[in-house]
């Protein structure tokens, strides 16, 4: 049984998962600033202050004793340095205190693996969309390769920045989705797909301009969603056509969006691929995904010694050998 | 149902992300018809805009790049009701496929030539927009042809050219991971041979782009 700690950005989470993939608990808390964005130091303070009690809750909710935990996994990267370091410190302490092995997990890989656990998918093309990431990931040659990604800002970041500009609270995604439903008119925005990558910064600038011009907020939100999701659908489609895989997985915080889900369902249908949207509790940043990936990794023979367990803030999805999968 | 450009007989040659590639017989010869079909899951305004824009772009670019000395299919007809383009059928194999079996020396020659062709495009102010190894056809005489210009743009800036090179590197990373280093070196060598010192600024911008999208 593994206790997984996730703290790469503004959320801190702890989850307990059994070796056969049962999620016994999954507790998290998200720092939601009253105004402005996330400051790395504030977020790390949040993790340091709430981390221990979140861990305690996760163990209690799982209905187990701390001694029942025989593996500690933590999000080793990529993420904000200060947040990663606090999380790693808690993980090392627990590992030493309980006398159990420590595993360092790649945050993006964990999103894919927990999605596979939930959906039963074997080898999907994964659309991973969140505040900090926009990636189209697929397994090839013993690595999870990023077939598509953003060339500038992540989709969630784009939505939050726009939201802040037009007076919405963080995170703005759900509000934008609600407003978009009332949108009637489509205003053309820069649609920027480059190969299998995309770019959102031009679209964001243009959307802000629409607001300054007095275009109704629902119309802006509608136009932004349709353009941003259309671009994402295109690169997902390119990845499916390119890799010839038959499963499409949608995960990450932005996976909550129903319009995005509908569009990607259409993409999957067009290519006779199965589709799954990871359920909200497992789609966002949380500890269960770290715990589950930690189990896979540990079973395949991978673990860390404390002195070498430094964090990897720039750890790319495709930098880790995926020793627990065959390709 | 969608109609093609007076098609007599046809077979599906390839299924792309944004189009169906048909091999058709016309005027006693074999040609390619590229059809951009509607995508019902997109907002209709966006879908028709993209189909129109990319069909338009591809036709214009195919003509333009041949004048720059880059081998690309000739366009014979366009049908705006079905967003289809009738063009030359290029006999040969995708570089993507060849790269799986050919020798290192052979591969480096082909990649160098690919780099040189990108240099020719960029010198003429054109970026390809999707320079993957699937979009390069190697013909039986070992000559390279560039296809799929739907994402191409002209009036290219340093940034646009650097993105083009970045995309080459991305495709090598994901699709040719085991030989990516020698392939990238050869592409950049060919590119530099063509562009000379004007490549420097573009290459350093390419490094910058690589860092930009990443977590820090």
Query: Does B110 lie in the same domain as B202?
Result: yes
Query: Does A82 lie in the same domain as A9?
Result: yes
Instruction: Decide if A181 touches B, using CB distance below 8 A.
Output: no
The pLDDT of residue B18 is 83
Query: Does A273 lie in the same domain as A260?
Result: yes
The interface predicted TM-score of the complex, written ipTM, equals 0.89
| pTM score | 0.93
Query: Does B112 lie in the same domain as B61?
Result: no
Domain range for B186: 93-214
Q: What percent of chain A has pLDDT over 70?
A: 99
d(CA A136, CA A164): 27
Instruction: With beta carbons under 8 A apart, name residues in chain A contacting B175.
Output: 140, 242
Query: Does B114 lie in the same domain as B52?
Result: no
CATH number of the CATH domain containing B70: 3.30.200.20
Rounded to the nearest angstrom, the minimum Cα separation between B28 and chain A is: 31
Domains contained in chain A, number:
2
CATH number of the CATH domain containing A234: 3.30.420.40
The verdict on a CB contact (< 8 Å) between B132 and A195 is yes
d(CA A303, CA A309): 9
Query: Does A13 lie in the same domain as A143?
Result: no
Query: Does B97 lie in the same domain as B56?
Result: no
Query: Does A182 lie in the same domain as A251?
Result: yes
Query: Does A101 lie in the same domain as A129?
Result: no
The pLDDT of residue A103 is 98
For residue A58, the Cα-to-chain-centroid distance in whole angstroms is 20
The pLDDT of residue B1 is 40
Query: Does B79 lie in the same domain as B37?
Result: yes
Query: Does B184 lie in the same domain as B103?
Result: yes
Instruction: Give the Å distances, CA to CA, from A78 to A6, A23, A97, A278, A315.
Output: 11, 24, 26, 21, 5
The verdict on a CB contact (< 8 Å) between B213 and A141 is no
Domains contained in chain B, number:
2
d(CA B193, CA A100): 57
Query: Does A257 lie in the same domain as A152?
Result: yes
Residue B148 a catalytic site member: no
Structure token digits, residue A81? 């340095």
Give A31-42 pLDDT, tens digit per residue.
877 666 678 999
Query: Does B175 lie in the same domain as B73?
Result: no
The pLDDT of residue B8 is 57
Instruction: With beta carbons under 8 A apart, name residues in chain B contacting A77.
Output: 215
- Model confidence at B17, pLDDT cuts 50, 70, 90, reads confident
Residue with tokens 């020659």: B109
CATH number of the CATH domain containing B139: 1.10.510.10
Q: Which among B34, B69, B88 is the end of a domain?
A: B88
Query: Does A230 lie in the same domain as A189?
Result: yes
Q: Is there a domain that residue A220 lies in?
A: yes
Query: Does A296 lie in the same domain as A217?
Result: no
Q: Which among B72, B88, B104 is the end of a domain?
A: B88
The verdict on a CB contact (< 8 Å) between B214 and A241 is no
Q: Is there a domain that residue A326 lies in?
A: no
b/e map B169-188, b = 16+ CB within 10 Å: bbbbbbbbeebeebbbebbb
pLDDT over 80 (residue A195): yes
């Amino acid at each position: 049984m593994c206790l997984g700690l996730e703290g790469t950005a503004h959320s801190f989470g702890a989850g307990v998962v059994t070796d056969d993939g049962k999620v016994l608990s999954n507790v998290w808390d998200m720092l939601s600033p009253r105004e402005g964005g996330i400051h790395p130091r504030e977020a790390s303070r949040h993790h340091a202050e709430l981390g221990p009690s979140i861990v305690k809750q996760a163990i209690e909710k799982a209905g187990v004793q701390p001694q029942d935990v025989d593996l500690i996994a933590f999000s080793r990267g990529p993420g904000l340095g200060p947040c990663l370091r606090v999380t790693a410190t808690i993980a090392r302490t627990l590992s030493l205190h309980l006398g159990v092995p420590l595993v360092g997990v790649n945050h993006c890989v964990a999103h894919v693996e927990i999605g596979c656990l939930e959906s039963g998918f074997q080898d999907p093309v994964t659309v991973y969309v969140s505040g900090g990431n926009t990636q189209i990931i697929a397994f090839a040659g013993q690595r999870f390769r990023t077939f598509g990604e953003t060339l500038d800002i992540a989709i969630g970041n784009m939505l939050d920045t726009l939201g802040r500009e037009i007076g919405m609270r963080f995170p703005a995604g759900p509000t934008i989705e609600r407003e978009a439903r009332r949108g009637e008119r489509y205003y053309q925005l820069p649609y920027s797909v480059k190969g299998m990558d995309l770019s959102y910064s031009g679209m964001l600038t243009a959307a802000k301009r629409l607001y300054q011009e007095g275009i109704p907020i629902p119309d802006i939100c509608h136009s932004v969603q349709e353009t941003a999701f259309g671009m994402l659908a295109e690169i997902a489609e390119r990845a499916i056509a390119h890799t010839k895989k038959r499963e499409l997985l949608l995960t990450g915080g932005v996976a909550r969006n129903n319009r995005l889900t509908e569009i990607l369902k259409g993409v999957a249908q067009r290519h006779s691929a199965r589709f799954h949207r990871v359920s909200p509790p497992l789609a966002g940043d949380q500890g269960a995904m770290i715990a589950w990936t930690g189990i896979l990794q540990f079973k395949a023979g991978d673990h860390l010694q404390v002195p070498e367990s430094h964090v990897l803030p720039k750890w790319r999805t495709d930098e880790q050998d995926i020793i627990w999968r065959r390709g | 149902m969608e109609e093609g450009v007076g098609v007599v007989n046809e077979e599906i040659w390839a299924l792309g992300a944004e189009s169906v590639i048909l091999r058709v017989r016309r005027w006693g010869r074999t040609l390619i018809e590229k059809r951009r079909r509607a995508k019902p899951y997109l907002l209709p305004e966006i879908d028709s805009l993209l189909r129109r824009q990319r069909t338009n772009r591809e036709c214009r670019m195919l003509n333009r790049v041949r004048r720059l000395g880059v081998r690309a299919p000739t366009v014979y007809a366009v049908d705006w009701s079905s967003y289809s383009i009738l063009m030359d059928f290029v006999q040969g194999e995708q570089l993507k496929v060849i790269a799986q079996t050919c020798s290192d020396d052979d591969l480096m020659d082909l990649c160098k030539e690919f780099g040189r062709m990108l240099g020719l495009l960029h010198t003429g102010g054109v970026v390809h927009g999707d320079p993957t190894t699937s979009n390069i056809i190697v013909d039986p005489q070992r000559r390279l042809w560039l296809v799929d210009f739907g994402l191409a743009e002209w009036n290219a800036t340093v940034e646009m050219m650097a993105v083009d090179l970045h995309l080459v590197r991305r495709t090598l990373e994901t699709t040719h991971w085991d030989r990516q280093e020698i392939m990238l070196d050869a592409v950049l060598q060919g590119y530099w041979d063509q562009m000379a010192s004007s490549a420097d600024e573009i290459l350093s911008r390419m490094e910058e782009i690589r860092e930009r999208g990443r977590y820090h």
